[in-house]
Structure 1
C-alpha cells in the first residue's frame, strides 16, 4: 500500500502530460460535450410536452444526461492508452518493474476523472448559457461530478481490463460500442423514464448509467429527494471498486499470454 499512492501519482502525471501533448484531442474533448448539448437540446426540446417530464425546460433535463453520455464515450476509450503501451513495449517494461499493478489502474482512472470533471464543468456552463437553471446550486453540481467520476472509474476500468485481454484496438472499439450505446438508451439520459416502455423502466432500475443520471438530476433539483441520491451513489461506488479490482486482475491474464 505504501507504493500505490506514489506510483499512482507519478503515472497519473505521465498520462496527463501525454494528454496535454495532443492539442487536437484536447480540443475535441472540450468541444464534443458542447456539440451534444446544443444539438440534442434543439432536436428534442419539445419532448417536455410528453407526460413524465417534471421540468418545463429540456435543457434542465438534458444537461445531466449529456454529462453522463460524455462519461461513457470518453471513459469507454480509456483502454486505448493500454493498447498503445503494449504496442510500444512500454507495458512489458512496466510489468517487469516493481511498479504497482493497482497504481497502473488507478492512474488511468484518475486521468479519466480529470477529463470528466473538465468536460462536466463545460457542459454546466453551456447549459447555463442556454438558459438552464440548476436549483441545487454548487452542491448539486458537485454531487453530479462525483457521480460522473464514479461511473467513469467503472467504465475506464472495464475498458482497461478488456484491453489487457483482447489487445487490439478493433476489438476494444467493438466492446466499447456494444456496452455504451445500449446502456445509454436503457437509461433516462435523454428521455424521462415514465415516457419509456415498461420493460425499459425495469431494466433502467438496474443500470448504473441511470443511477448516475437520476442522482444528478435529483441533486440539481430545487427539492432533492436524498433517498434517491445516496443509495445510487453508494451503488456507483461499489460498482467502481469492483470494476477496478477485476480490471487489475486482468494483468495476470496478459502476463500469462506473453
Structure 2
C-alpha cells in the first residue's frame, strides 16, 4: 500500500491537503500506477463496496433491473410457448419453457452491460472518477470494483429470475452441482460483458449514450443465437453465426448442465455446440482479458 498521511479516502478526506513528511514539508500524493496484488485487491473491494452501498440506498435500480427479465420469462413462455418447434420437444409448450430458460438467463446477465456502462459514464460525468484518480490507488481498481459490484447485482437478479422460472414450470434435471456450475458460467459471462460496458462507459460522454451504446449491439448478439430458437430454423449463414456466437455457447452449456435438452437432441456440428461448457469458459475468459485491458488502458489515458 502507498503510505501517506492526512485525508483518508475511505472517509472522504482530501488527499491534497493535510499531513506532511517527517521534516514538515508537504507530502505529494499521486495515484499509484502499479502496486502489489494485495493493494489491487483491497482497492477494488473498497470501490465495489461503495457501489454496493449505493445499490442498497437506491433499491429502485435493482427493482427495475428485475422487471425486464421477469417480463421476458412470462411473455416468451405463454406467448411463444406452443408456437415454436424445438428439437426433442416439438411444439410442446412445457418443453419450450425448458428450452427457453437458459436463453433468458443468459440474456439477463448480458443486458447488465448497459447498466455497467451507464454507471461508469455517470461517474465520469459527475467528476467522481476524477476524484478516484487523485487518490493513491491502483489504476485498475476503479473499473474492477465497479464490475464486481455489477456481478453481485447480476447474481441477485439470477436468484429472483430462477424463482420466477420455477413458478412457470421450469426445472433442472441433472442435480444441484451441475445447476450451480451452470449459474457460475452465467455469472462469468455476465462479468465478462460488464467489461465491455465499462469500456463503452469510458468512451462516451453521457449516461444516456452509454445506455444506448450498451444495448444496440446486444440485440443482434442475443437474437442471432440459439437462445430462443434452434439454429436449424435459421438460414445457413445465420446458423453459422449463431453456432459460433459466444452467447450461444453459454446458453447451450446451461441447457446441457440443467438437463433442458429434449430427448434425442443432436447438437449442431460447430465446435462450440459440441463442447459448450469448455467453449463458454474460453469465450468468457478471452472477453475479460481483452476488454479489461482496453478499459484500464482507456482509463489511464483519460487520467493524463
Give me the whole-angstrom Cα distance separating, in 1, the residues matched to 2:161 and 2:176. 14
Q: Which residue of 1 aligns with 2:276?
A: 228
Cα pair 2:70 2:164 within 8 Å, conserved: yes
1:177-256 → structure 2 map (5 Å cutoff): 177-221=215-259, 227-256=275-304
Quote the residue 1:54 is aligned against: 88
- 1:222, CA displacement in angstroms? 6.9
| 1:5 corresponding residue in structure 2 | 41
Q: How many residues align?
A: 254
Corresponding position: 1:160 with 2:198: yes
Deviation at 1:76, TM superposition (A): 2.2
**Cα 1:251–1:144 shift into 2, 3 Å:** same
Larger radius of gyration: 2
Say if 1:33 and 1:122, in contact at 8 Å, map to a contact too.
no
Q: After alignment, is 221-230 or 132-141 more displaced? A: 221-230
Does the 8 Å CA contact 1:150/1:240 hold for their aligned counterparts?
no
Distance 2:284 2:82 in 1: 31
Q: Which residue of 2 aligns with 1:14?
A: 50
TM-score, L = length of structure 2: 0.77
Give the conservation status (yes or no) of the 8 Å contact 2:117–2:214. Answer: no
Between 1 and 2, higher relative CO (CA 8 Å, sep ≥ 6) is seen in 1
Tell me if the contact between 2:173 and 2:258 (Cα under 8 Å) persists in the aligned partners. Answer: yes
1:75 shift after superposition: 2.3
- Unaligned 5+ runs, structure 2: 1-36, 268-273
Check the 8 A contact 1:186/1:204 in 2, yes or no.
yes
TM-score (norm 1): 0.90
